[in-house]
A and B are shown apart, each in its own frame.
Chain A
Amino acid sequence: MWELIDSNKRKSKILFFSMFVLLEALCILIGLALEYPRGGYWGAAIGFCLWAIQSMVAYYFGDKIVLKVSRAAKVTKEAHPQLYNVVEEMKIAASQPYMPEIYVINDSAMNAFATGIKPEKSAVCVTAGLLETLNRDELQGVIAHEMSHIINRDVLFMTFAGVMLGSINLVAKGFLGTSRITSGASRRGRLGSSASKIHPGFFIIAIVFSILAPLLAQLFYFAISRKREYLADATAVRLTRYPEGLASALEKISVSASNLVWYNKITAPMFIINPMALENSSEFLSTSTHPPTHKRIGILRKLQHGGTVSFRDYQNIFSKENKDFKLLPKSALEDKNTVNVRQASAPEIGGALLGAAGVGSNKASIRDVNNLIMATSGFLFMPCTCGLKIKVPPTIGKNQIQCPRCGRYLTVPSITSNISHKEEKTRDIKGTQGVFERTNPDSWETALCDCGHSIQLSPIFRGRQVVCKKCKRKIQINYPE
C-alpha cells in the first residue's frame, strides 16, 4: 500500500507540472500573438500569477468551500456513533494517525465525498439519504472508498488538476472571445496602433492552441479521474477485505434516481458516484469523471467470488476486461501476499453474531438519521433508567419531564436561556434586548430566548440580529473573531 501512495505522490507532481507547462505555453503564445515580442513575457507573468492565486485558494480554502456550499453539518460521536465508529475503523485499517472530520448533508440523494489536501486536515462527508439506506457493511465500503481518496492523496491531486483545468479553460475562452473582436476590427480596416503589433503567425497558432489545449487538458483530467476511482476501489477493498459491501452500496446508489442538487466540475471527482450523470456508456474517451458503475461493481463481485483481494487480484481482473491496461504501478504489485476476503458481518450469518448492532431494519436506520438531525438542531437526548431514550426539544420550557414508558420523573438539565443581558453600552445595535455569543458559527447553534422559544442559527447565517418569532424581542448575534 505504501508503494502505491508513493507512486501516486510522484505522479501528482508530474501531472501538476505538465498542467502548469500547458497553461504557461498557452499564456505565452497569446502574449506573443497580441504584442510581438514583448507580450511573451507578459503572458508568462500573467499565467504564473493566475496559477499561483488559484492554487493558493484551492490549497487553503478548497475543503472549506466544498463543505460550506454543501451546507454540511459536523457530526460528533454522540450524534451518530455508528458512522463515527465506521470511520474510525477505516482509519485504523489504513493505519492513519489522523481521524478525519465527519460531516453529514441533509439531502435525501445518496452520495459521499472526501475533502482535505492533507490527511491531517481531511474530512469525509455523507448524505442523510446514504445513511438511511445502507447497512453497516455497505457504509463501511463507502467510507473505505473515501478514506482511500484521502490516503492516496487523490484530493490534493484532483483539486490542483481541477484548478489547472479551470485556468486553462478561462484563458483559452477569454482569448477566443477577444480574438473575434480584434479580427473583426481589423477586417473593417480600423486598425489601432496597439492592434498593429499583432503577429499574424503567432495569432493563428494561438487560436489553434486555445481550441486544442482545453480539450487536451479535459481528456487528460477525466481519464486520470476515472483511474483514480478504480484505484480507490482497489484500496477500499484492501482495507475492508469485503468487496461485496462496496459492490452492493454502489448498486444501491446507482439505482436511486435522485441526484444531488449542488456539485461542480471540480468537486465531482471526489464523490463516490459521479453526481453529474448517472451512467456513461463509452469509457476511455468519455468526458465523465467516474468509470461506469456497472463495471466497478462487476470487478468487485469477481473479487468476492475469487476470495482474495490484494492489489494484484484487482489488477488481474481489471486487465482481463480492459486489454492489459495498467492500472497499478509495478511496485504495488510486488506484494505477493494473498489477502483473503472476510466473512460478511452478522445479518447474513444467523442474525446476532458480532456485528448485528443497529443495522437491522430500514426503520431503525431512518430513526438514526432523524436523531442525528435532531441532535444538530439542539435536541437533548436523555436516557431513562428503563432504557428508553427521550428526545427533549430545546423549546420544552420545563425542568421536569415524565418518561412516557415507565412514568419516572426526570430532571432536564440546564434548559435556560443562553442569551446574555449586558448593559446598553456593549450592544452595537440599538433596540436589542439581549446578546447571543456564537461560539462555533460553522455549525448549527441554538439561541434560547427568555420566552422559551428557540432560534436555530444555521452554519451559513451571518446576520447581526434576529427577532424572536414568539415574543418579538430583538437579539443581537456576536461572532468570535
Chain B
Amino acid sequence: MIFALILLALIVASVMFSVGLYNGLVGLRNRVKNSWSQIDVQLKRRHDLIPNLVETAKGYMKHENETFVKVTEARSKAMSAGEGGSVKDVGAAEANLSGSLAKLLLTVENYPELKANQNFLALQEELTSTENKIAFSRQAYNDDVMMLNNRVEMFPSNIVAGMFNFKQSEFFEIEDKEEKKVPNVSFN
C-alpha cells in the first residue's frame, strides 16, 4: 500500500515536472517565432525604402546606372528569398543587399548636391535606422534561438523535446564581407 502510494506520488511529480518543461519549451518556441517576425518586419521595411532611395538618387547620379541595377536586383532576390526560402537563404540574400547598398551609399560621397538634399537625408536616416533595427532584432532572435537550442539539447528537457518533436532552430547570420575586412585596432 505504502509502496503504491510512493510510486503514485513519484509518477505525479514527474508528470508535473515534464509538463513544466514542455510549457517552457513551447514558450521559447513562440518567442523564437515572434522575434523572427520582428526581423521580417524590418527586412520588408528596407525593401520598401530602396525604390524611394533609388528614385531620389537617380536624378543626381546619372553615371551610376550599374550600381542602381545591382541594388534593384539584390532587392528582388532578397524579396523572393523572403517568400519561402530557409533562414540561411534569407541571410545570404540580405547580406548581398546590404553589400550593394553600402556600395551605393559610398558613391553618394562623390555627389555633394545629393548629400545636401533633404529628402535624401531623411531617407538615409530611415535606412540607417532600419539597418540598425535589423541588426538588433537579429541579436534578439539569435539570443532566443540559443536558449531554445540549449533546452532542446540539454538534459532533462531534451527528453521532453524528443517526445514532442521540438527541433533546433537556425541562427540568422548575415555574413558581411565588408565588415570582416575592417581590422579591430586596440592600443592596450
Interface residues of A (CB under 8 A from B): 1, 81-82, 85-86, 88-90, 92-95, 136, 140, 239, 241, 305, 307, 337, 342-343, 345-346, 349-358, 383, 387-389
Contacts and interface: CB of A to CB of B under 8 A. Distances in A.
Given A92-B38, A92-B140, A343-B182, A81 B125 contact: yes
A387 B55 CA distance: 13
- Secondary structure call for the B interface: helix
B118 interface: yes
A387 B120 contact: yes
Nearest to B139: A93
A356 B105 contact: yes
B98 A95 contact: no
B178 interface: yes
Contacts of B76: none
B66 interface: no
Nearest to A307: B184
B146 A337 contact: yes
B14 to A, nearest CB: 25
A75 B2 CA distance: 69
Interface string B64-93: 000000000000000000000000000000
B126 A356 contact: no
Select the residue from A136, A354, A358 with max chain B CB neighbours within 10 A.
A354
Given A342-B135, A354-B105, A305 B188 contact: yes
Contacts of B35: 95
B122 interface: yes
A89 B125 contact: no
Contacts of B116: 387
Select the residue from A94, A352, A388 with max chain B CB neighbours within 10 A.
A352
Nearest to B60: A387
A349 B182 contact: yes
A357 B124 contact: yes
4 A-B pairs with least C-beta separation: A85-B129, A93-B136, A387-B117, A357-B125
Contacts of A349: 182
Contact of A389 (B38, B118, B132, B133): B118
Interface string B150-188: 000000000000000000000000000011001010111
Contacts of A140: 132
Contact of A358 (B101, B125, B186, B188): B125
Contacts of B182: 343, 349
B95 interface: no
A307 to B, nearest CB: 7
B133 A88 contact: yes
Given A353-B105, A354-B101, A354-B105, A92 B125 contact: no
Contact of B179 (A85, A88, A343, A387): A343
A177 B116 CA distance: 67
Given A95-B35, A95-B38, A358-B125, A352 B109 contact: yes
A349 B127 CA distance: 17
A94 to B, nearest CB: 8
B13 interface: no
Contacts of A88: 129, 133
B30 interface: no
Contacts of A93: 136-137, 139-140
A177 B186 CA distance: 60
B185 to A, nearest CB: 10
B128 interface: yes
A307 B35 CA distance: 26
Contacts of A388: 118
Contacts of A389: 118
A329 to B, nearest CB: 18
B106 interface: yes
A387 B109 contact: no
Given A92-B137, A305-B188, A354 B128 contact: yes
A101 B131 CA distance: 22
13 contacts: A81-B126, A92-B38, A92-B42, A95-B38, A241-B139, A345-B128, A350-B106, A352-B105, A358-B121, A387-B116, A387-B120, A388-B118, A389-B118
B54 interface: no
A214 to B, nearest CB: 43
Nearest to A241: B139
B136 to A, nearest CB: 4
Given A85-B125, A357-B125, A387-B120, A95 B131 contact: no
A357 B109 contact: no
A367 to B, nearest CB: 11
A343 B182 CA distance: 9
A409 to B, nearest CB: 19
Contacts of B108: 352
Given A89-B133, A343-B182, 6 more contacts: A81-B126, A85-B126, A93-B140, A95-B144, A305-B186, A305-B187
Interface string B33-59: 001001000100000000000000000
Contacts of B184: 307
Given A85-B126, A241-B139, A352 B106 contact: yes
A250 to B, nearest CB: 20
Contact of A357 (B38, B127, B135): B127
Given A95-B38, A383-B119, A387-B120, A355 B126 contact: no
Given A82-B125, A357-B128, A387 B38 contact: no
